[in-house]
């Protein structure tokens, strides 16, 4: 089930901007131009209000109390789980586990699934464009188990080499962990065919949806991934809340991750029996306010309609790409045929950090550096890039500000 608006309409970006109080900020005496959305998006008033409303009116611990506030908090928390289930098209709400974010979701799978299923000589396949969060947990697992980490190469245009992928797959491949959308390049990977091929050799697939969940329609059943992880803060929700989706049979068969409250059924000093899904993986008091506010973020996205958002963001990407390419010495890193609204670039003879600082002086927030993808930067033989990543509230006029800001920065550096 995909909850998006089937008809494409032109969004009223002015009205959308008014929902984001932070967009009124003045930074360095200039109106803020926020182009660091791939790191974290800004939050609409409805998300801010959901957090404040929870703490002001029904703050209580969940699943434990019989009192009214506890019941209200539990109901809101569980309503958010259902909203996430619908947002990603999961078959069962208990397949939706609240985590602190993408990073924790991947670590949970690497720890719980990995330690039960990986033995010496097994192979784990990732790609050359993974965020460190989808590299390091697998490295730790491989080191512990004497398993082998293999990497799908990235082509010059920023797409994955699918020929190499198929050659790397084999009977020893036990896990394929792939990013759906690259945070450094914007590349959209063809995950459906990647998953199908992995399943043909009996491998389990984890999809890192940190960057994709906000831009693409997510249907985990259609995709047929075994695990899907994402973070609330990259889709207009709060920090400290994220989702691990896992197929029910796999989550049920996995050992537990963290021990503690909520994940138990019965504890004696001799032994503990564990709670059922999804609570089995939700040890300790979770980020209740964050989970509740995540629903407000999903409502915001659903109300606008991802089709409409994509249409607007595609226009931003097209315009930004064309304008950037005019700048002498500028090279865009990542020119995949399918991209989200994100441009990474370098300028000959100029350090990305210097550009970042000079743009910040003009109130323009971009990300500079390796974007937690150091091996990818090495692949392109660069130290880092300048990255401008767009959200629904960004405008063509703001891209003009960025381009003018870049010209100014280059003049100062020359």
Which is closer to ligand 7TS, CB of 73 or CB of 289?
A: 289
CB atoms within 10 A of CB 123: 21
Residues 151-190 that bind ligand 7TS (CB under 6 A): 179, 183
The SS3 of residue 221 is helix
Which one-letter DSSP state was computed for residue 255? P
Shortest distance in whole angstroms from residue 70 CB to ligand 7TS: 29
Which is closer to ligand 7TS, CB of 85 or CB of 133?
A: 133
CB 210 within 8 A of CB 231: yes
Shortest distance in whole angstroms from residue 99 CB to ligand 7TS: 9
Q: Is residue 231 within the footprint of ligand 7TS (CB under 6 A)? A: yes
Size of the site for ligand 7TS (CB under 6 A): 17
Shortest distance in whole angstroms from residue 5 CB to ligand 7TS: 26
Shortest distance in whole angstroms from residue 366 CB to ligand 7TS: 11
Residues β-bridged to residue 229: 208, 244
CB 390 within 8 A of CB 320: yes
Which is closer to ligand 7TS, CB of 303 or CB of 378?
A: 378
Please pick, from the candidates 131, 215, 306, 339, the single residue that binds ligand 7TS as defined by CB under 6 A. Answer: 131
Residues 363-392 that bind ligand 7TS (CB under 6 A): 367, 371-372
Please pick, from the candidates 208, 226, 282, 398, the single residue that binds ligand 7TS as defined by CB under 6 A. Answer: 208
Shortest distance in whole angstroms from residue 153 CB to ligand 7TS: 18
CB atoms within 10 A of CB 216: 18
Which is closer to ligand 7TS, CB of 33 or CB of 235?
A: 235
Token code pair at residue 386: 């300048």
Annotated active-site residue in 83, 366, 372, 402: 372
Most distant pair of Cα atoms in the chain: their distance: 71
Shortest distance in whole angstroms from residue 295 CB to ligand 7TS: 18
Q: Is residue 102 within the footprint of ligand 7TS (CB under 6 A)? A: yes
Whole-angstrom Cα distance, residue 310 to residue 277? Answer: 34
Whole-angstrom Cα distance, residue 57 to residue 324? Answer: 48
Token code pair at residue 378: 């090495």
Q: At residue 30, what are phi and psi to the nearest 5 degrees?
A: -130, 150
Shortest distance in whole angstroms from residue 268 CB to ligand 7TS: 36
Q: Give Cα separations from 58 to 68, 71, 133, 287, 406 (angstroms).
A: 8, 9, 34, 14, 48
Angle at 99 between CA 37 and CA 119, to 5 degrees: 110
Shortest distance in whole angstroms from residue 279 CB to ligand 7TS: 22
Please pick, from the candidates 211, 308, 344, 362, the single residue that binds ligand 7TS as defined by CB under 6 A. Answer: 211
Token code pair at residue 264: 């138990």
**Candidate segments 208-216, 256-264, 303-311, 403-411, binder of ligand 7TS by CB under 6 A:** 208-216
> What track of x and - describes contact with ligand 7TS for positions 13 through 52 (by CB under 6 A)?
-------------------------xx-------------
Which is closer to ligand 7TS, CB of 58 or CB of 113?
A: 113
Q: Is residue 223 within the footprint of ligand 7TS (CB under 6 A)? A: no
Helical axes 288-304 vs 68-88, angle rounded to 10° = 40
Which is closer to ligand 7TS, CB of 131 or CB of 310?
A: 131
The beta strands (E) that lie in 141-226 are given as 148-152, 173-179, 204-208
Token code pair at residue 152: 């799908």
Nearest to 181 by CA among 222, 230, 136: 230
Whole-angstrom Cα distance, residue 254 to residue 235? Answer: 29
Is 142 noted as a catalytic residue in this protein? no
CB 311 within 8 A of CB 100: no
Please pick, from the candidates 37, 133, 187, 362, the single residue that binds ligand 7TS as defined by CB under 6 A. Answer: 133
Which is closer to ligand 7TS, CB of 35 or CB of 58?
A: 35
Q: Is residue 287 within the footprint of ligand 7TS (CB under 6 A)? A: no
Peptide bond into 395 cis (omega under 30): no
The residues annotated with a catalytic role in the active site are: 372
List residues binding ligand 7TS (CB under 6 A). Answer: 38-39, 101-103, 131, 133-134, 179, 183, 208, 210-211, 231, 367, 371-372
């Amino acid at each position: 089930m995909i909850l998006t608006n089937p008809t494409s309409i032109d969004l009223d970006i002015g009205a959308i901007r008014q929902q984001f109080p932070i967009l009124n900020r003045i930074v360095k005496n200039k109106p803020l131009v926020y182009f660091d959305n791939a790191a974290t998006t800004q939050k609409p008033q409805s998300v801010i209000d959901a957090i404040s409303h929870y703490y002001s009116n029904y703050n209580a611990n969940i699943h434990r109390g019989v009192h009214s506030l506890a019941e209200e908090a539990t109901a809101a928390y569980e309503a958010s789980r259902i909203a996430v289930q619908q947002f990603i098209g999961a078959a069962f709400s208990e397949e939706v586990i609240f985590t602190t974010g993408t990073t924790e979701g991947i670590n949970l799978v690497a720890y719980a699934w990995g330690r039960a299923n990986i033995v010496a000589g097994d192979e784990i396949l990732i790609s050359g464009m993974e965020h460190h969060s989808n590299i390091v947990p697998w490295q730790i697992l491989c080191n512990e188990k004497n398993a082998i980490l293999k990497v799908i190469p990235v082509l010059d245009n920023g797409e994955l080499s699918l020929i190499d992928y198929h050659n790397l797959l084999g009977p020893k491949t036990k896990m394929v962990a792939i990013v759906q959308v690259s945070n450094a390049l914007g590349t959209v990977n063809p995950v459906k065919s990647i998953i199908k091929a992995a399943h043909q050799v009996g491998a389990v697939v984890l999809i890192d949806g940190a960057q994709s969940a906000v831009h693409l329609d997510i249907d985990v059943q259609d995709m047929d991934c075994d695990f899907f992880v994402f973070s609330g803060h990259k889709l207009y929700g709060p920090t400290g809340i994220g989702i691990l989706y896992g197929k029910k049979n796999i989550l049920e068969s996995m050992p537990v991750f963290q021990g503690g409250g909520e994940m138990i059924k019965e504890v004696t000093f001799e032994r503990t029996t564990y709670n059922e899904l999804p609570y089995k993986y939700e040890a300790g008091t979770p980020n209740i306010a964050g989970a509740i506010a995540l629903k407000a973020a999903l409502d915001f996205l659903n109300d606008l309609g991802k089709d409409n958002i994509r249409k607007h963001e595609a226009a931003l990407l097209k315009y930004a790409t064309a304008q950037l390419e005019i700048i002498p010495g500028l090279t865009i890193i990542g020119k995949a045929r399918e991209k989200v609204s994100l441009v990474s670039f370098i300028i000959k003879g100029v350090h990305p950090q210097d550009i970042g600082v000079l743009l910040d002086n003009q109130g323009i927030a971009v990300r500079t550096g390796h974007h937690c993808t150091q091996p990818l930067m090495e692949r392109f033989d660069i130290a880092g890039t300048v990255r401008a990543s767009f959200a629904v509230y960004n405008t063509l006029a703001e891209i003009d500000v960025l381009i003018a800001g870049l010209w100014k920065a280059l003049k100062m550096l020359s």
